Every structure is written in C-alpha cells, then in structure tokens.
Structure 1
C-alpha cells in the first residue's frame, strides 16, 4: 500500500512535466509592421536553423558596410520590438540583422523554447550571414535582450565569430529566475528542485553551464552589460553579479536610471554609449580601408 509520502511523490513527478510545458511556454507575438514603417530599407529573409526549422528575419543594410549587428529579442518578443534600437545603429553605418527565435514571431514552431535554443538560432543566423553576405561580416557583433541577452553571452562563450556583445537585462542564473517565477505558487522546496532538474533534463544543459554569471567567464571578446536600475523583472543586482564574476577588463557595466525591463526608450537615450562601444570594437576587428 502506498504511503501518503509516496503518493505525493508520484503525483508530483507526473505534474511537473505538464506544469513546466504549460507554465513556461513562450507566448507568440507576430509582427504587424516592418522596418519600412521606420523609414528603413530592408530585405525579409528566412534563415535555416537546427531541427529542420527556419527563422524569419529582416536584414537592414548600411551602404558599403562590413559591420553587422545581429539583434535577438527576449522571451515572448519578436524582431519588431527591437526595431527602435536598430535604426540608430543602421544610421551609424552598421548593417542590422534582426530575427525571430523559434516559436516566436514568424519563425517556425518547435517543441519548446529555451536559452540554449535561442543561442543555437543566434549561431545559425551568424553562420547564414557569413555564408550569404560575407562582405557584411567583417565584424559581427550581437545585441540581445533578456533571455536573448543570456543566449548572446552563451553563444559568445563558444563562437569565435562574435566580435562583441551588448547584453541588455540579462539574468544572472536561470535557477534564480525559475524560483522567482514559481514563488507565488508557494511550492515546497522539493517540488521547485524537481522543476529545475526536469528543465535541465529537457533542455540538455545544467543551469550552471548556461548561466550568464558563468558563461561570461568564458568569453574573450568585449562585453557591455546594460541594465535598468528600475527593472522589476530582472533586478539590476543580476547585472552586477554577472559583472563581478567576469574575468578581465573587457566586460563593462552600464546601469540606466529609471529603465524597467522593457524600457527600450530609456535604452535609446544611451545609444551613444552603445555605439561608442561597438565602433571601438569593430575598428579593432576590421582593418581600415587602404
């Protein structure tokens, strides 16, 4: 006969997978506009990624530019939400490639979304750019927001084609995010532990291996961590923790007063600092003409 504790364990084991897939499913927000609405010329593209899926994206060219900024949105976002940041970079002479991760925007669906899958898609977007637009890939920098920022840091820790990273509102460790997201449910600690272990099994990575506070220690290219001091989703302390774990002076931290998690307008006010960072890194990565 089953004890009460054994029955509880069986029910928990059955409920955790269903709860994870339902509770952590990324909402899909499709684009309703295009870069043309911001006065930008663009090419709509499809980028092949892993598992025979493809990604939707926009390539916004800058005349005769060998520098490209690849932009990755956050959880439940899409390329259109990142457009306000694309315009000033394009005007400054950077090609800009924006794309939707799987299960987001107009990209193909897949079984689930995760930070590693965001990173896979980012890597495939960079590979596509180098293959189909080699003249624009002399210096490839990446800008990611939230989960996209964590993915950018993870990909930069293993991809030598990335010359620089701008990370906006990255969390320090996925376990901290997971615990915060279920705190309102008042789950017993063993259930929360089970959720974390199930997600690790599902995505094929231990959280410690993909946590930005750890991947940043494996990145050799320059990194600029950008975070709003008023972020109510990912506290600015996460950025400080990532910065504290970084090794070397190639990782900088820019804190923005009054910026919440999705305050793109506040980030735009400091785009000069972001541009200065990329201008310097790409000047080092790409030899000057002549």
Structure 2
C-alpha cells in the first residue's frame, strides 16, 4: 500500500515536472539573428526597458515627408520635424525580418524605427516573454522616439506584425501616445496564439492547452486580473469611448498560422476597419498591392502635419 502510494506520488510529480518543462519551453521564442542590414541611411539606437537593453534601427527617408509639403527657399533653414512609423515584429521574429515593410514607408517620406523586442534578435533575454512584454516594449519604443530631436512627437504611428500588433493594441488601452495603428496578421485572442505556438512546436493542444496558460502566467508574473483585462475586444471598447486612435487591421485570407476568422468576426460587428488581402502565409500580406494601397494613404492622412 505504501509502495503503491509512493509510486503514484512519483508518477504525479514526474507528470507535473514534464508539463512545467513543456510550458517553460513553449514560452521561449525561437532566437533569430539579424543577418540582414537596412539599405540606405540608418543609425543604431539602444534603449532600456525593465532592466534590459533593447537594440533598434532608425531609418531615414531619402526625401522629406510628403505630409509636410516642405518648400524651403533658404538652404540653411532647419528642416521640419518628421513623422515616424515604428515597425514592431512578432513572436520569434526580429527587426531584420520586418525590413520588408520599410521600402514603401521610406519612399512615402516617413522615418522608420524598428527594434528587437526582449528575448528576440540582439536585445537582452528575459526569463518569461509574453504578450504583455510586447506591450511594455512598444511603450518603451514610443517613449524613446518621442525624445529624438528630428521627430515630431505628435506624429507617430505603429505598424505591428502578429504579436507586435497585439502588444500595440493592448498598449492603446493604456494611452499609448500615437496617432494611428496598423496591424498585420494579428491574433485577436490569447487562445489563438497558444494554439498556433503549440502547433508550431508539435505539442498537442489537449490537454496541455488547458494547463500551459497557467504556467505562462505564473512564470511571467501576470495576475489573473491582468490577463482578463488584456483582451482586444475590451481595448477596442475603451478606445471607442476614449481617445479613438484610428486603427487599420489587415490579415491574409489564407494565413495558416493565425487564421483570419477572429478579425472577420470583429469586422462583421463593425468594430474595426479591416482589410483582407490575398496570401497563404503569415508573413506575406504586404506582397498584395492592396496592402500598401490602403496603408500609405491611411498613414499619410493620420500623420498629416495639419492635424498635429
């Protein structure tokens, strides 16, 4: 009897350890090196958040922003401060992998800032990355670019891919001081992200999908109340009733990693301005001409100097 009880306790302890190990492993994003550098003029900018150092690039357009319509007769006249678009990458990505967005933005005259979130690229790692980490990192990124001398702090927008968009929208609920947000292939629910990550790591959703979220929250120090408040529909409601930051949400119709169904539901409810583009990948929406056909006019309008 005692032996049987001991064996049962050992098996239970082993299962708990195994589930905890799987949960911890699934919470560490794949680390990718920044093996591609920007073309044209750029500078490296570092900043801190939560005791960690983050690495970023500031990319300069070849011409002044079309939103300013600058006509300088005096060559010594100081250029007007410029509008800026922050590009925020997603889970398991880095700033090199979102360079694909920069050419059209630079050609439109926008300065671009991109950075590695913590535990990604060249930025410092942390023990337990999470969606709320992405929220905190975009808040820190906005804070640092607002201090740059050539940037108009009243004309900043964010283009966030996947979890970079998710963290940005969550930050809007906390008053992120930006004029507009574009999301690309963004998950709407935590459950969608969890299913996608477990699928990528070949881990069965049942029963781990019901156990791992608790491990993620515990390791990241996120309370249940924080988790319940960090929901996209709640943020959208707060935005509608408050600052009303313009948002354009884009998703590829055949995205196999983060399906577009959740966004379609919000669009049918009239909650968001949504665009569905052609594509069967998670990182190729910008290849559809319809993407930039909407994004550039949207950003140009929302970051126009007359509105500052």
* Shorter-chain TM-score range: 0.7 to 0.9
1:211 aligned onto 2:234: no
Within 5 Å, which residues of 2 pair with 1:249-268?
Answer: 251-267=272-288
Which residue number corresponds to residue 275 of structure 1? 296
Deviations 1:7-65 (A, max 9, x none): 665444322321112123111111122112xxx21111111112x11111111124445
Which residue number corresponds to residue 210 of structure 2? 193
The aligned length equals 279
CA distance in 2, matches of 1:214, 1:272: 29
Q: Identify if the C-alpha distance between structure 1 residues 280 and 102 changes in structure 2 by more than 3 Å, giving closer, same or farther.
A: same
Aligned-residue offset at 1:110:
1.5
The root-mean-square deviation of aligned C-alpha atoms, in Å, is 2.5
Q: When the two structures are superposed, what TM-score results if normalisation uses the length of structure 2?
A: 0.81
CA distance in 2, matches of 1:180, 1:58: 29
Which residue number corresponds to residue 88 of structure 1? 104
Which residue number corresponds to residue 257 of structure 2? 233
CA distance in 1, matches of 2:38, 2:125: 23
CA distance in 2, matches of 1:199, 1:159: 26
Decide whether the 8 Å contact of 1:228 with 1:261 is kept in 2.
Answer: yes
Aligned-residue offset at 1:186:
4.1
Which residue number corresponds to residue 29 of structure 1? 32
CA distance in 2, matches of 1:187, 1:264: 27
Within 5 Å, which residues of 2 pair with 1:1-290?
Answer: 1=2, 2=5, 9-36=12-39, 40-50=40-50, 52-62=51-61, 63=64, 64-133=80-149, 135-182=151-198, 185-186=203-204, 188-189=206-207, 191-203=208-220, 204-206=222-224, 207-219=227-239, 220-243=244-267, 247=271, 251-267=272-288, 270-283=291-304, 286-287=305-306
Local SS of the residue matching 2:30: coil
Aligned-residue offset at 1:265:
4.7
Aligned-residue offset at 1:224:
0.5
Which of 208-217 and 22-31 deviates more?
Answer: 208-217
CA distance in 2, matches of 1:160, 1:181: 27
Structure with greater helix share of residues: 1
Decide whether the 8 Å contact of 1:170 with 1:238 is kept in 2.
Answer: no
Q: Identify if the C-alpha distance between structure 1 residues 30 and 267 changes in structure 2 by more than 3 Å, giving closer, same or farther.
A: farther
Q: Which blocks of at least 5 consecutive residues in structure 2 are unaligned?
A: 65-79
Q: Which blocks of at least 5 consecutive residues in structure 1 are unaligned?
A: none
Local SS of the residue matching 1:121: helix
Aligned-residue offset at 1:115:
1.0
